[in-house]
A and B are shown apart, each in its own frame.
Chain A
Amino acid sequence: MGALAALRADPRLKWVGFALIAIALVALPFALAAAGTAWVRITNLAILFVLLSLGLNIVVGFAGLLDLGYIAFYAVGAYVYALLASPHFGLHLPWWAILPICAAVACFFGVILGAPTLKLRGDYLAIVTLGFGEIIRIFLNNLSEPFNLTNGPKGIATIDPVRFFGMDFGTVTSIGDIALSGTIKYYYFLLAVLLVVIVVNLRLQDSRIGRAWEAIREDEMAARAMGINTVHMKLLAFAMGASFGGVAGGMFSAIQGFISPESFILTESIMVLSMVVLGGMGNIWGVILGAVLLSFVPEILRYTVEPVQRMLFGRSLIDPEVIRMLLFGLAMVLMMLFRPAGLLPSPVRNRELRTGRDDDDDD
């Protein structure tokens, strides 16, 4: 046990581990593309969900504020990108200008939502955020009249793809012998954004802000008594979470090329929430794991449930989609009942548990 711990603590091994992971992540799209570019596209969507989950994790996991309308920020980001880079208004700004705007506008909405509701108890907050998510969607659906802002239910089409030093992400580029399809380029782009978000999250978690959130989550009264400005901190959590959602939304717009309000329904909010809950609220790696697992579920079901049912009963009795939703619901209920800290529990909990015992295996 001790030897293993010593081995694990070896810094060289740590770098070897990082290098291996890096190589795996760089090579991944080519491996997937061999099986079909569709898999790269699915992976891209999975990364988007990881981004979303990480954003929601700040609100739910770090600060302990249940947000059921998180997808609204994603929607806001997506629409900001779409409006600024599509023929709808004839604007075609470059992505590096738009993504910060996406984050800023989503952040603004986060504050709008946060400000009036922060004094509320947790459960009121949940239902208000739920309502907020619906309001945003209803407005997106209706703001085609009398002034056509969002083009209503028809959605916005032909959104510009990302362009990077003259490299159009919508088409295939060849570098030497390697052909980079648009999806693979997006994969790397998303990966880069994801890395930035992970680093920001890690820094946040260990910062004063992160510890303040943790304190609020555990006991708001005590936190206030310790001199933490709880209102500022909660607002900050909302704002940060919202901006990550906004960036993810902007990326979604660029990849998809077409968005309409039907992509931002309540179910999506619930999906992201169950990813956070499944992986482990408050733990960045846990949340990533949860998001990756659950975003591949529909694809797995597509190849398992359907054929199995066809084999057994000769036809499809239960839709995979129903099974997916049941899984999401059950994931939330069962995780809360049996493993409330998630698949990978937050390190804080570990720390708390460990300080309770004798510190013998901790070097």
Chain B
Amino acid sequence: MNGLTLGCVYAVVALGYTMVYGIVQLINFAHGEVVMIGCMVAFSVILALAPSGLPPLLIVGAGIFIAVPTCMAVGYAVERAAYRPLRQAPRLAALITAIGMSIVLQHLALLVWSRNIIAFPQIVELKLFYLGSSPATSAAISNVQITIILTSIAMMAGLLLLVHRTKLGIAMRATSQNPQVAGLMGIDINRVISATFVIGAGLGAVAGVMVGSYYGVAHYQMGFLLGLKAFSAAVLGGIGNLAGAVLGGILMGLIESLGAGYVGDFTNVCLLDKVLPGFTEVCERSPNASLFGSNYKDVYAFIVLILVLVFRPSGLLGERVGDRA
């Protein structure tokens, strides 16, 4: 269940990466930071409104309502100031700019919200639902988790509708296939690209609020690792492919949760003792030690990424594209 919730968050963030990548072939390193800013803005708003006695749902709604436009503005500004002038420049230049942007945003956020871990206010009361008879042993799912999963599904559906049913969506797909030709067909490419960044940032903002309320804490550096994992998820699913991003995100969440939980058990030294010689002494000394415990949790995402890139660079659902570098 945790894996699924986490996966939904990854999926929403991965959508932001994949949309941008699909259109301008740029890894928007700053996307993770946009998610973080969304979380922080919502946090500030909720904190400001919390004592007012308004109904909790309304307060959370207000938080999202303000966070989304803020992130959209940030996304737009970043695209306009840093990426647009470099659209014709070598890829290396755009990448370096993206990394630079990510650092700048991170530290600007640090200036605004300080570097302390801040507690995300819990204003919606937490309810636990047990998926079994006894609370002590069975898995639990909370109302927050259910909300996150439902919201993600709604947003993904909305995005798919947007891309496949609206005029803007058609323009976006056209631009991603061939910007020059799309331009000739009368599509304002700049507008479409800006719109992509803005929509991606909006999704990121909602994802930020979800992450914040799920973990209960926010931090100015939270965006980086989250962004990296979401990007890996997008690659896993097939970059540029929306359904792929969703699938990749959910898989990534599951891999990480299960990996942290169970790989440690499989590589327990006492278990290895039965297969390989030489572990007996270690097993007696520390029976709980394992070769790859939960401390390697962050490694799994990267290993998945590397494996996918080596064996199937187009991802699970991606169509084979020629090398455009």
Contacts and interface: CB of A to CB of B under 8 A. Distances in A.
Contacts of B228: 127, 130-131
B145 to A, nearest CB: 28
Contacts, number: 132
Interface stretch (A10-18, A304-312, A332-340): A332-340
B282 A68 contact: no
A325 B224 CA distance: 15
Main secondary structure of the interface of B (DSSP, over half): helix
A332 B289 contact: no
Contacts of A166: none
Contacts of A220: 325
Nearest to A147: B282
Contacts of B91: 121-123
Which of B228, B235, B313, B325 is packed against the most chain A CB atoms within 10 Å?
Answer: B325
B100 A336 contact: yes
Nearest to A267: B103
Interface string A125-141: 01110111011001101
B99 A273 contact: yes
B45 interface: no
Contact of B103 (A122, A126, A132, A332): A332
Main secondary structure of the interface of A (DSSP, over half): helix
A330 interface: yes
B195 to A, nearest CB: 22
B92 A333 contact: no
A145 B107 CA distance: 35
Interface in B276-325: 279, 282, 286, 289-291, 293, 295-296, 298-299, 301-303, 305-306, 309-310, 313, 323-325
B42 to A, nearest CB: 23
Interface residue tally on B, bucketed by range: 35 or more
B151 interface: no
B23 to A, nearest CB: 14
B296 A131 contact: no
A64 B103 contact: no
B104 interface: yes
Which of A120, A121, A270, A329 is packed against the most chain B CB atoms within 10 Å?
Answer: A329
A325 B110 CA distance: 11
B316 to A, nearest CB: 16
B96 A329 contact: no
B305 A68 contact: no
Nearest to A113: B306
A146 B96 contact: no
B108 interface: yes
A145 B282 CA distance: 9
Contacts of B107: 322, 325-326, 329
Contact of B279 (A126, A127, A146): A146
A135 B299 contact: yes
Contact of A124 (B93, B295, B301, B313): B313
B95 A122 contact: yes
B291 A277 contact: no
Given A132-B306, A142-B296, A340-B93, 10 more contacts: A116-B306, A117-B310, A121-B324, A134-B302, A141-B295, A146-B282, A273-B96, A281-B92, A325-B103, A329-B102
Interface of A: 60, 64, 66, 68, 116-117, 119-124, 126-128, 130-132, 134-135, 138-139, 141-142, 145-147, 220, 266, 270, 273-274, 277, 281, 318, 322, 325-326, 328-333, 336-337, 340
Closest 9 A/B residue pairs (Cβ): A332-B100, A329-B103, A131-B302, A329-B104, A333-B100, A121-B325, A146-B282, A336-B97, A146-B289
